A and B are shown apart, each in its own frame.
Chain A
Amino acid sequence: MTHPNVRGSIRQRLLVMLLLSAAGIAILLYAVVQSVAKQVVQESQDNILAASALSILDSARVIQGEISIDLPYSSLSMLDSVIDERAFYSVRLNDEFLSGYEDLPRIANLSDVTEFQSASYLGEGIRVASTRRSFTTVDGQVYLEISVAQTLTGLNKSITRISQISLAIGFGFFVLSVLAAVVIARSTTKPLHLLTRSVSRRGPSDLRPVAAPVPTEMAPLVVSLNNLMKRLQNSLSRSEDFIAEAAHRLRTPMAIVRTQAEVTLMRIEKEENRQAIREMIRAIDETSRTAGQLLDHAMVSFRTDSLMKETIKLDELIVDAVHRVSPISELRDVEIELQTLDKVVLAGDPILIQNAVQNVLDNAIKYTDADTTITVSLVRGTEFAEISICDRGSGFEKNEIIHLLKRFERGKNASGVVGSGLGLTIVDEIMRAHDGTVSLQNNKGHGACVILSFPL
């Protein structure tokens, strides 16, 4: 299996982007909450200062043509009602200082609207509100100007608290976003994982299109995948057709060639020529056998793709198969001994199973030593019915056993024996089609066993 060229991860990228944007939004949230709250706090301080200044202004009266001010107690006490706060004020008539703190910073060009400014006074930051009103006195039109100021202890306390709260809000938002991001990233890539799992769970010859529902974004991928599989299936079946056709066309000429070769063999007297012809016949045999098995394989592929199940009496099928191979076994002086033969009935394709049993028997006859006995048995267990076919040959090499079921693989000891390497592959495919298994094992003494196991 080749490793894909991996660069990056959708989940990671998604996660990183979500986290970055969450962090960005959290910081923005912090900044916005803080600035809005600061403004609100500043406004509320300004409101109190304005109320204080206006209450002093309201206490002003013209008595006998002169301005008189009766500073209300609350005008200054309201400034530190919640938090101890230093307070300052100044009263001016036009530019003449009347009362309070003379050097309190003034706001230049005061209009009739209350105005505010931040300043520094007596070594501390203060906020000043100034307001004025016109009066008519004996001196004519005059402006009474009131400034009220307050230190920023409470304001700074509020701002610190708000900073902490907004920091907590921002952080809390971020933590929630992290949790959400992890969940989102996981659920986004979930369909991909599901698709991957369903595709990799498939059997080797399962090229059906993906039918499970997928999200819109993945539809093109699935369409491409399905197309690819369809093309693959087409080209696969085309090549199998082609092989079957080729094998079929080879068989007849081969038979003719073989007959002619045998006729020629009878005519030839010279020993070295006869030997050459025998070699030729042997090569022809091998070729026709391969062609036959390729045809078999094509047939098996076709039948397993559209499996027609009938009721089969397995024991009878085995007897029949043994009977069919008896000409070949007799030719090699090999005896086939039927041992235990339980009665087993199961559903399957009789032609395919016949083919499988025959293939195994063929192999056994081929690889067993001359003048030996092949034992065949059918045992009915509780969950499986097992057909064992054991020979007396040289057995399998241990490390080959897994590979032998692949196409065109032959055992190391197969040299000198006619074969294509397709036999066991065909058997394996047939068994899979019937939910059964093939297992290969070496006998304790001598030879090997092939066991076909069918579920009951």
Chain B
Amino acid sequence: MRYLILSIVIFAFATSAKAFEIEDRAVFGEMKDGPVLRIISTADINYFTPMIDAFRRFRSDVVIEYTVASSTEIMRAVYDEKQPFDIAISSAMDLQTKLANDGLARKHSSSLTQNLPDWAVWNDMVYAFTQEPAGFVISNKILEGLQTPQNRQQLINTLRQNPEIFRDRVGTYDIRKSGAGYLFATQDARVSDTYWRLTEVMGTLRPKLYCCASEMIQDVIDGNLAIAYNVLASYAEKSPHSDKFTIILPSDFSIVMLRTLLIPVSSENPQLAAEFLDFVLSETYPSGVSPLLKTRSLEDATENTLYRIALGPGLLVYLDNFKKKNFISEWESAILQD
């Protein structure tokens, strides 16, 4: 391998002066005098390595330090501590938007960014480079013989008609713990009130609540869950056991999350950051699908059922204390019916 990966576990960094918590860290290239690009990201190292390799094929002199952290820790690092990261990559669109809205992202525009579709860019600060739809992940074994629900209404009916199959075997995000789960739930609720009916139906089946998509997928594979609701198709597809489940993008509407990147104002090397950003975008567009982050299900989906979450101040609404409290209490009363 031409580059050196340093994987360091959280505990190693707990002793460092940094107050925000990191999950993983890797350095591509040898730390010498060359320019360093510091990326903080919610995506796993493996997930992003191909993109970094591709970039370093053009700029082998650049050392890339890749730090993995949760979206709230990224927020803390960039928003509160103003850590000198050059690129922030996150799936939390609301937090990325808040960073930009509150003046913590640098404006960048180039000939490349001029031609992006409207939904892919906000205020020349936040740039989307993936489209990842959320859908149902259904266990092939447990639902054998049943008609596969293709949209939320059919899912409601299936759940209602087969409580014996689904009791204790329905999983979804615990929106109190998961930022992504909260984002999907709020957008679901915004598009259609079917969401609330579905949540209530799930509530009657003693649903299991998860912090993370990976655990949910694992439980479907293990046969503990018959169905997981609002799971990123891109995650599920990557599972080595994807033959055990079916991913359904609901035909009424599929919420599409956009993974975004931005250049924090605290960047010490904004020129290089801009170059990296343009590179990622050039790999992504105009095909709309990053070669690294291909989503098979997205290719099958029809454009008019895709509901892309809109970047912009509308997302800030759900970060509002009152709003969040109201929404979560409404959600709790629907899903926790014991």
Binding site for B on A (CB under 8 A): 68-77, 79-80, 84-88, 91, 98-101, 122-124, 153
Contacts and interface: CB of A to CB of B under 8 A. Distances in A.
B123 A86 contact: yes
B102 interface: yes
B321 A87 contact: no
A86 B322 contact: no
A101 B190 CA distance: 24
A60 to B, nearest CB: 9
Nearest to B124: A84
Which among A68, A73, A75 has the greatest number of chain B C-beta atoms within 10 A?
A73
A77 B310 contact: yes
21 contacts: A68-B322, A69-B323, A70-B326, A71-B322, A76-B313, A76-B316, A76-B317, A77-B310, A77-B312, A77-B317, A79-B313, A80-B314, A84-B122, A84-B123, A86-B100, A87-B101, A87-B313, A98-B321, A99-B322, A100-B320, A124-B103
Contacts of A86: 100-101, 103, 123, 313
Nearest to B320: A71
Interface of B: 100-103, 121-124, 190, 310, 312-314, 316-318, 320-323, 326
Contacts of B190: 73
Given A99-B322, A101-B102, 20 more contacts: A68-B326, A70-B322, A70-B323, A71-B317, A71-B320, A71-B323, A73-B190, A73-B318, A76-B312, A76-B313, A76-B316, A77-B313, A77-B314, A80-B122, A84-B122, A86-B123, A91-B322, A122-B102, A122-B103, A153-B123
Nearest to B323: A71
B139 to A, nearest CB: 34
Contacts of A73: 190, 314, 317-318
The 6 closest A-B CB pairs, nearest first, are A77-B314, A87-B313, A84-B123, A122-B103, A76-B313, A69-B322
Nearest to A52: B313
A79 B316 CA distance: 12
A19 B13 CA distance: 77
Given A77-B310, A124-B103, A87 B322 contact: no
B23 to A, nearest CB: 30
Contact of B317 (A75, A122, A124): A75
A87 B326 contact: no
A85 B323 CA distance: 21
A99 B321 contact: yes
A80 B312 contact: yes
A404 to B, nearest CB: 89
Contacts of A98: 321-322
Contacts of B124: 84
Contacts of A87: 101, 313, 316
B216 to A, nearest CB: 27
Nearest to B186: A73
Contacts of B122: 80, 84
Contacts of B323: 69-71
Nearest to B122: A84
A71 B316 CA distance: 10
Nearest to A76: B313
A69 B324 CA distance: 10
Given A84-B123, A84-B124, A91-B322, A72 B103 contact: no
A68 B322 CA distance: 7
A84 B322 contact: no
A59 B74 CA distance: 32
Contacts of B317: 71-73, 75-77
Nearest to B187: A73
A85 B322 contact: no
B313 A85 contact: yes
Contacts of B103: 86, 122-124
Given A73-B190, A86-B101, A123-B103, A80 B313 contact: yes
Which among B121, B123, B320 has the greatest number of chain A C-beta atoms within 10 A?
B320
Contacts of B123: 80, 84-86, 153
Nearest to B121: A84
B135 to A, nearest CB: 23
A68 B323 CA distance: 9
A75 B314 CA distance: 8
Contacts of B313: 76-77, 79-80, 85-87
Contacts of A91: 322
Nearest to A123: B103
A84 B312 contact: yes
B145 to A, nearest CB: 41
A124 B101 CA distance: 11
Contacts of A74: 314
Nearest to B311: A84
A292 B318 CA distance: 124
Contacts of B121: 84
Nearest to A72: B317
Nearest to A63: B326
Contacts of B310: 77
A250 B207 CA distance: 149
A87 B121 CA distance: 16
A71 B327 CA distance: 11
A270 to B, nearest CB: 128
A287 to B, nearest CB: 107
A69 B326 CA distance: 8
A2 B215 CA distance: 112
Nearest to A80: B312
A45 to B, nearest CB: 15
A123 B121 CA distance: 21
Contacts of B312: 76-77, 80, 84
A68 B330 CA distance: 14
Nearest to B123: A84
Contact of B320 (A79, A84, A99): A99
A410 B221 CA distance: 137
Contacts of A153: 123
